[in-house]
Chain A
Amino acid sequence: MIDLVNVSRLYHRGADEIHALERVSLHVERQRFVALMGPSGSGKSTLLNVLAGLDRPDSGDVTVANQRLNDLSEDELAAFRAHTVGFVFQFFNLIPVLSAVENVELPLLLTNLSRAERRQRAETALRVVGLADRGSHRPRELSGGEQQRVAIARSIVTDAELIVADEPTGDLDAKNAEEILSLLQTLRRDFGKTVVIVTHDPRAEKWVDEVIHLDKGVLLETRPGGAARAGVAG
Chain B
Amino acid sequence: MALPLSYSWRSMYARGTRTLFTVAVIALVVVAITLFWSLIGSLKRTLVASGSPYNLVVMRKGATNDGSSQVPLEAYQAIRFFEGIAKDAQGNPLVSPELVVQPFFHTASGARENVLVRGVDPVALQVHDEVHIAEGRMFQPSSGEAVVGKTIAQRYAGAQLGKTVHFGTGNWKIVGVLESGGSTFESEVWVDARQLADDAKRSVPYSAFRVRVAPGADMDALARRIEGDQRWSLQAKPELDYYESLMSTAKVLYFIVASLAIFAGMGAIFGATNTMYAAVQARISEIGTLRALGFSRGTILLAFLVESIMIAGVGFAVGALAAALLAVAISASLGGVGLPALTFTTNVVVLRVAPQDLVMPFLLALLIGLLGGLFPAAAAARLRPVEALRKA
Q: Do chains A and B touch in the complex (CB under 8 A)?
A: no
